[in-house]
Chain A
Amino acid sequence: MPGTAFTLEALKRILLEGAGASEDVDLDGDILDTDFEALGYESLALLETGGRIEREFGIALDDSALTVARTPRALIEVVNAHLSTTPAA
């Protein structure tokens, strides 16, 4: 889906599909600035999430993107920056 924006809703859906959700965390709460680790997602969960974002949105994230972007807000910004520079298919 090149050309569309990557939203928090899309991120939540992809997190749930790829890695599930911790019972202690309400993904529908105010999570934009919560560390992924505090949301219950370790590095492998983020690797899986990144892979799913890449194939769904037709982009290629840098290897470091997922380790640098520690919160949903940061990851959404990284993905949207890619989307704005990737020509529509």
Chain B
Amino acid sequence: MAVRSDARVVVTGLGIAAPNGLGSAGYWDATRRGVHGIGRIARFDPASYPATLAGEIDGFAAEELLPGRLIPQTDRVTRLALVSTDWAFEDAGVRPEEFPEFDMGVVTASSSGGFEFGQGELQNLWSRGGAYVSAYQSFAWFYAVNSGQISIRNGMRGPSGVVVSDQAGGLDAVAQARRQIRKGTRLVVSGGMDASICPWGWVGLLASRRLSTSTDPARAYLPFDGAAHGHVPGEGGALLVLEDLDSARERGAPQVYGEIAGYGATFDPAPGTGREPGLRKAIEVALDDAGLAPGDIDVVFADGAAVPELDRVEAEAIGKVFGPRGVPVTVPKAMTGRLCSGAAALDLATACLAMRDGVIPPTPHVTPADTYDLDLVGARPRTAQVRAALVLARGYGGFNSAVVVRACDR
């Protein structure tokens, strides 16, 4: 397939694993009703840690969903990614074995790789010696492991890779997938998945000093609220099937959720320079790339850091582009916690579902501070025609990314 820099890249399949729902139907049903999945950590005893709440996925039976050969060599995050990819293919009506293997690629985002697997092997190394470390540690912990295992399981040998830029990664990966499709790859599985709710992962997350130490699941993660005091981490994310629109039409894809119409990424200036943070510019670049004006955007899925200073920066960026209360803003991740690289991929999938059903999902438990001047979609979902959505994501250390997803007439 020839290089076409203007090729339209569309989402044709969704695979979702989230703390408030496994599979896109369950997740979307919970999300539009405002059902959250945050609670006291059950996977280990969090009593000795300052933060004790997380968004954990319940009832994921990997042994029933994956081949026995894969279980000893995979971390939980990879199992979630593999199963979500299966679901995304099923949703898209794609049987990968029917595609030439070099026509399919995998580009995922990751923030931590297989942390729980790595923790177990470090414990083996430390307490029993090197002979007790699994040979599979060689890749099971690694950032690229989800891309690699998805590629192997589905026979996808086209352009592949991994993007590591914390929350922004979920969008950066999709942008890289779009580049590869425009260079001629027919189909790319993209998105992000993270799951490091284990003591080692938890200590790493705590080091950001941005975690909420609240013990009340309904009051712990309150983006844009005057009572915002950090976030709750969660596990999960989404894998999306992305295709060239013509190719999707040609094979009779059961649905086209939307087009990845615009992308912008910036990096914040060094602290102390007094220069404006990069988020506004990322939004403007994404809108420009999509050929849309701010008035064309029907909803913004905000990053929603729930750190007062970061909330202010984001509210100002949205305000400068869209005007005061100029666009509905929602943060459905208030229901799941922040999923690291999985968060923005899940927001993108959620935006697709919002466009399909004409429903903007709610931001439960949050009363936005007046100073932000945001039209925040509150505890109730909002019925609205959604033709274009803007998804924002920021990664720890200065990453800003924005994606415009637009409805696609068939």
Flag whether B209 is at the interface (Cβ < 8 A).
no
For B57-74 the 0/1 string (1 means CB < 8 A from A) is 000000000011111110
Tell me which of A17, A21, A51, A54 contacts B69 (CB under 8 A).
Answer: A21
For B122-158 the 0/1 string (1 means CB < 8 A from A) is 0000000001101110100000000000000000000
Nearest-neighbour CB distance to chain A for B125, whole angstroms, equals: 13
The interface on chain A, measured as residues whose beta carbon lies within 8 A of the other chain's beta carbons, has a size of: 15
Question: Which residues, 1 to 52 on A, are CB-close (under 8 Å) to B?
Answer: 17-23, 40, 44-45, 47-48, 51
Q: Are B72 and A20 in contact (CB under 8 A)?
A: yes
Q: Are B71 and A44 in contact (CB under 8 A)?
A: no
Q: How large is the interface on B (under 10, 10 to 19, 20 to 34, 35 or more residues)?
A: 10 to 19
Q: How far, in angstroms, from A17 to B136 measured CA to CA in the complex?
A: 13
Nearest-neighbour CB distance to chain B for A11, whole angstroms, equals: 16
Q: How far, in angstroms, from A55 to B128 measured CA to CA in the complex?
A: 11
Residues of A within 8 A of B67 (CB): 20, 22-23
Q: Are B135 and A48 in contact (CB under 8 A)?
A: yes
Residues of B within 8 A of A45 (CB): 69, 135
Residues of A within 8 A of B73 (CB): 19-20, 44
Q: Are B135 and A22 in contact (CB under 8 A)?
A: no
Tell me which of B68, B72, B134 contacts A23 (CB under 8 A).
Answer: B68
Residues of A within 8 A of B72 (CB): 17-20, 48
Residues of A within 8 A of B131 (CB): 51, 54-55
Nearest-neighbour CB distance to chain A for B109, whole angstroms, equals: 25
Closest to B74 in A: A20
For B70-102 the 0/1 string (1 means CB < 8 A from A) is 111100000000000000000000000000000
Closest to B128 in A: A55
Residues of A within 8 A of B71 (CB): 20
Residues of A within 8 A of B138 (CB): 44
Q: Are B134 and A21 in contact (CB under 8 A)?
A: no
Residues of B within 8 A of A23 (CB): 67-68
Q: How far, in angstroms, from A47 to B73 measured CA to CA in the complex?
A: 13
Closest to B71 in A: A20
Residues of A within 8 A of B70 (CB): 20
Tell me which of A20, A51, A54 contacts B68 (CB under 8 A).
Answer: A20
Q: How far, in angstroms, from A52 to B69 measured CA to CA in the complex?
A: 17
Nearest-neighbour CB distance to chain B for A46, whole angstroms, equals: 9
For B387-409 the 0/1 string (1 means CB < 8 A from A) is 00000000000000000000000
Residues of B within 8 A of A18 (CB): 72, 134-135
Q: Are A47 and B135 in contact (CB under 8 A)?
A: yes
> Which residues from chain A sit less than 8 Å from chain B, CB to CB?
17-23, 40, 44-45, 47-48, 51, 54-55
* A-B residue pairs in contact (CB < 8 Å), sample of 24: A17-B72, A18-B72, A19-B72, A20-B67, A20-B68, A20-B70, A20-B72, A21-B68, A22-B67, A22-B68, A23-B67, A40-B69, A44-B73, A44-B135, A44-B136, A44-B138, A45-B135, A47-B135, A48-B136, A51-B131, A51-B135, A54-B131, A55-B131, A55-B132
Excluding A18-B72, A21-B68, A21-B69, 9 further A-B contacts by CB distance (< 8 Å) are A19-B69, A19-B72, A19-B73, A20-B68, A44-B135, A45-B69, A47-B135, A48-B136, A51-B131
